[in-house]
Chain A
């Protein structure tokens, strides 16, 4: 149990286009989902926290108008990178916290989405 999927697993797009990445909790309901970004040979950087039915909370330095997050249901969160540029090329990873579990319990991570902007 506790499987998180991401779609697509990789995407290549042209500069200036928008890309949507989906994160789904397959066998549990997730009250909170998190989005991370990871550049090569670096650690994960938390971008934002999204709670179902409410606006996402962005970390300092993350542009909310560029990285649109929607958490419309207890099993789906989406991240849209708007007007993507080559510097947005990165590995995007989501994680989810299971509904009903204490907040200090583990998060379940998706497999990641590799975005390349040409």
Chain B
């Protein structure tokens, strides 16, 4: 199965941009790149997803490398509420079903 690799933890300051990297060197042509985040004792929350082109939404931006072997989630102006574990996930088509396989994620700490 295609897997993702993320740093275990990152730290940033409030109101500064945050760039969260993800490597997925074995991605296949039909795998979508998804990002979710999880606050303590809560279910994951969808952040953004993309296939080849960069994507923007109200929460974040997703920059996808041209060879699709890596991507970066960009939080343009971090707030304390953005402190969470961020998961970069490939939405895999396995045996006709689409499912999310979570890796270990990056624990993001935001300093006031």
Contacts and interface: CB of A to CB of B under 8 A. Distances in A.
A54 to B, nearest CB: 12
Interface stretch (B12-20, B44-52, B61-69, B72-80): B44-52
A57 B49 contact: no
B100 interface: yes
B42 A43 contact: no
Nearest to B85: A43
A95 interface: yes
A104 B52 CA distance: 13
Interface string A4-22: 1010000000000000000
A46 B87 contact: no
B104 A43 contact: yes
A81 interface: no
Classify chain B: how many residues form its interface, as a range: 20 to 34
B45 A43 contact: no
A4 B107 CA distance: 24
Given A109-B45, A112-B42, A112-B43, A44 B102 contact: yes
Interface string A34-75: 101000000111100100000001000000000000000000
B44 A93 contact: yes
B43 A106 contact: no
A109 B43 contact: yes
B98 to A, nearest CB: 4
Contact of B43 (A93, A97, A104): A93
4 closest A-B pairs by CB:
A109-B43, A103-B98, A106-B46, A104-B32
Given A36-B102, A44-B38, 13 more contacts: A4-B43, A6-B43, A34-B100, A43-B103, A43-B105, A46-B99, A57-B97, A103-B93, A104-B32, A106-B49, A109-B45, A109-B46, A110-B43
